Amino acid sequence: MKVNYECASCMLRQSREAIEHATDDPDKRMDVTLKVLDHMHKNFKRNKQSNKTGTDLHHMIMEATNNYDPYKELRERGNEVATRLIPMVEKLLEEDNSLENYCKIAVAGNVIDFGALEQDTDMESLIKKQITIEPVINDVEKLDEALQKAENILYLSDNGGEIVFDKLLIEKIKEDYDVHITLALKENPILNDALIPDAEKLNLDRYCEIISTGASSVGVVEEYISDELKSLLNSVDLIISKGMGNYEGLTEMSIKSPVYFLLTTKCNVISREIGVPIRSPIILEKDLN
């Protein structure tokens, strides 16, 4: 997806928050803010890829502040919030253990996004509300049919906290469809995205093969990810892609494998791109070949 004029103000907000998380020094904050403005002036251009632009901006901030994990506390908070909600979620799944319900819960978990939302957002209340909303686009029947035929699938993770709900869906897919699942996560920090240690702590290696995307990027950025991931994107039977960053990146690529996007739209630009209201739960099949 290409940048829109609205992306500029969002990136500036994210930059301020990242700087405030990265350093307490007011002088350093001012120095880095000036670098952000210069970086945006030089790099925020028409037809630029949105998530690559955001990735480069965050890397510049991390390097300038010498803090390479400014969202560590928020990522850990996301995991704590999601873990507290597991008893409630498990009760919902006992009442309805369909693939659709597991997908809806995984999509609701996608609201745990401290890059897209304000830092003081009450994530717990937002998730509880989001779980009750029916998907505005719901291609779960197509996903079910594709999983019945699949042998190998790729699952692209998104945020910390959200991965707690992803585990439930991954378990469901493994048990009901007996496919080989490769779970791709960031090896190094970017925003509050889930990392390999988050998956290992949840024992996800019992259900899937865990790999690095090869890059600490906002979603998938073709020129940054590993050759291994590029190969999987074009060889697996299907891809389950979580979150907006992966949507932004994958839609800039030509991919042979069918993609199922599971996300909650949290910005006007992506909502308009998909054609739904903001904060819409989405289970969307998309051919990117």
Q: Using alpha carbons, select from 64, 67, 54 the residue that is nearest to residue 189.
A: 67
Which pLDDT tens digit goes with each residue over 45-70?
Answer: 999 999 999 999 999 999 999 999 99
Residue 132 has φ and ψ, to the nearest 5°, of: -85, -5
Q: Using alpha carbons, select from 172, 20, 163, 27 the residue that is nearest to residue 92.
A: 172
Can you give the pLDDT at residue 200? 95
131 CB-contact burial (10 Å; exposed 0-12 / middle 13-18 / buried 19+): buried
Rounded-to-integer distance, Cα 152 and Cα 165, Å: 21
Q: Using alpha carbons, select from 145, 138, 156 the residue that is nearest to residue 226.
A: 156
- Identify whether the C-beta of residue 215 lies closer than 8 Å to the C-beta of residue 185: no
- Identify whether the C-beta of residue 253 lies closer than 8 Å to the C-beta of residue 288: yes
Is the pLDDT confidence value at 257 over 50? yes
Which pLDDT tens digit goes with each residue over 209-239?
Answer: 999 999 999 999 999 999 999 999 999 999 9
Residue 279 has φ and ψ, to the nearest 5°, of: 65, 35
Residue 187 has φ and ψ, to the nearest 5°, of: -80, -30
Give 119's Cβ-side CA count (13 Å radius): 15
Which pLDDT tens digit goes with each residue over 152-184?
Answer: 999 999 999 899 999 999 999 999 999 999 999
Residue 205 has φ and ψ, to the nearest 5°, of: -65, -10
C-alpha 21: how far from chain center:
20
Mean pLDDT of 73-89: 88
| Radius of gyration of the CA atoms of the chain, in A | 18
Q: How confident is the model at residue 82 (pLDDT cuts 50, 70, 90)?
A: confident
Q: Which helix (H) or strand (E) holds 212?
A: strand 209-212
- Identify whether the C-beta of residue 123 lies closer than 8 Å to the C-beta of residue 109: no
> Looking at the domain covering 72-286, what would its CATH class be?
alpha beta
C-alpha 133: how far from chain center:
19
Residues in the chain: 289
Chosen CATH of 5-65 out of 1.20.58, 2.40.128, 1.10.8, 3.30.110: 1.10.8
3-state secondary structure of 37: helix
Taking the domains of the chain in order of start, what are their residue ranges? 5-65, 72-286
Rounded-to-integer distance, Cα 56 and Cα 47, Å: 16
